[in-house]
Amino acid sequence: MDNRDFHTCFYILKKLYEKYPYEIASYCLMTNHYHLQLRSQQHSISKIMALTNKKCVNYYNIRYNLTGHVFEKRFLILLLFQINLRWKYVDIFIYIQLKQKW
């Protein structure tokens, strides 16, 4: 992946936001996967992630003349319904930010 790919991922997230509003607390785009910490009061996170992955994979396959899956597994969703919810958000935020340094 190069800068064009990263910019396209941001564009895809922006276009999805226009149709399915959500909030991004943190993110990290890497060459072989990405991390998003997001929430939506109006739409299912599963739907937002499925559309994000579908659009990113379609773009990637067209650009690099590939077919099939790009990501090895389905996205991982962590639902934070524990008592110390604020600390869980902070923990995930820190984890994602540290991934950018590696």
Of 80, 10, 73, which Cα lies nearest the Cα of 45? 80
Judged by DSSP in three states, 16 sits in helix
> Over the stretch 15-30, which tens digit does the pLDDT of each residue have?
999 999 999 988 888 8
Q: What is the pLDDT of residue 102?
A: 47
Q: What is the pLDDT of residue 79?
A: 61
Rounded-to-integer distance, Cα 13 and Cα 35, Å: 13
Instruction: Count other Cβ atoms within 10 Å, centred on residue 13.
Output: 20
Evaluate if residue 81 carries a pLDDT over 60: no
Pair of tokens at residue 99: 């991934």
Predicted model pTM: 0.76
Q: Can you say whether residue 65 is alpha, beta or left, with left for phi > 0 and alpha for psi between -120 and 50 degrees?
A: left
> Over the stretch 42-60, which tens digit does the pLDDT of each residue have?
999 889 999 998 999 999 9
Pair of tokens at residue 92: 């995930």
Using 50, 70 and 90 to split pLDDT, how confident is the model at 98? Answer: confident
